[in-house]
Amino acid sequence: MIPETRTFAGAHRPDRMYTHNADGVGIAVYEWGKESDPVLFLVHGGSDFAGTFDVFAPLLVAGGYRVVSWDHRGHGDSEHAALYGWDADIRDALSVMSSITQKAAPVVAHSKGGAVMMQLADSCPYRISKMVNIDGMPSKRRMPDVPDHDQSRLLADSIGEWLNFRHEAADSFRKPGTLEDLARRRGKMNPRLSIEWLEYLVTVGAQQDENGWRWKLDPTMRFGGFGPWRPEWASLRMAALTMPFLGLLGTIDEPMGWGAKPRDVKPWIPTGGRLEVLEDIGHFIHIEEPVLVSNMILEFLS
């Protein structure tokens, strides 16, 4: 069977693709640019994959960087795992980053990737020289004003619900469809992105067999279900970061967004950090306005 293909203006597949063994889990790693250029790590969000950077990454390469990204476990072409969680994603990230360089390097991360990398930056600040968070900052939910023992009970309930879902979904599989079907489904979550872009994404993030196309994302993952997590944890970590920090925030809510508002984020920006609010742009800022966002980031990194 010859897979259907799509092209998209400005999209460039990575120059190098390989699998990295992260403590027994095969992580798909991708690189754009010259191996001799300074490293910049690019981290995707939840339910996404590194191929969503196929337009954005080359713009950063044009700024003189070797851009390295990877599919999170259970996403894209990385292996599926028995369980998923924030700590596992952090361990995978640290394993990939350490295999590329032992020096601190800049990180640009989107959505869930932004929250994960802020946790890594908080625990291993020596790994990250500068941090750019694209709409992966704390949401508007307030910290619970309840006693510690009640917080522990609420967290236990959340963990139990998450594990129950994982058990029930163990034998599930992704519904097949045509290339256009998958693009339309994704469009419900990304209503501001063009159908041409979404169809291109299907050819990168899904696989085709005799029954049609299926997204590669592990079907045991649910939206927002990456393990126990609370936005207040990210708030406290973000405020404590010591490296130069740039936060980018869109103003239009989308199904895959976090619903964060500038007033919710500003109090937690690290000392000396900067928050840039981009009006009339949704959660996928770097896909809607790749040239604008890449120029802002390159200016910040320089």
**CATH value at residue 271:** 3.40.50.1820
Q: Would you say residue 1 lies in a domain?
A: no
Supply the pTM of this predicted model. 0.92
3-state secondary structure of 280: coil
pLDDT for residue 209: 92
Strand order in the sheet with 274-278: 16-22, 25-32, 66-70, 39-43, 105-110, 128-134, 245-250, 274-278
Q: Which two tokens stand for residue 254?
A: 């989308």
DSSP code per residue over 177-242: B-HHHHHHHHHHH-TTS-HHHHHHHHHHHEEEETTEEEE-S-TT--TT-SSS--HHHHHHHHHH--
> How many domains does the chain divide into?
1
Amino acid of residue 86: W
pLDDT for residue 57: 98
pLDDT for residue 243: 98
Q: At what angle do helices 86-100 and 112-123 cross, to 10 degrees?
A: 70
Classify strands 206-209 and 212-215 as parallel, antiparallel or unpaired.
antiparallel
Spell out the per-residue pLDDT of the chain, length 302, in tens. Answer: 777 899 999 999 999 999 999 999 999 999 999 999 999 999 999 999 999 999 999 999 999 999 999 999 999 999 999 878 888 999 999 999 999 999 999 999 999 999 999 999 999 999 999 999 999 998 765 545 545 555 566 667 767 777 777 677 667 778 899 999 999 999 999 999 999 999 999 999 999 999 999 999 998 876 554 555 666 778 889 999 999 999 999 999 998 888 899 998 999 999 999 999 999 999 999 999 999 999 999 999 99
* Residue range of the domain that includes 223: 16-301
Q: Would you say residue 10 lies in a domain?
A: no
Q: Would you say residue 8 lies in a domain?
A: no
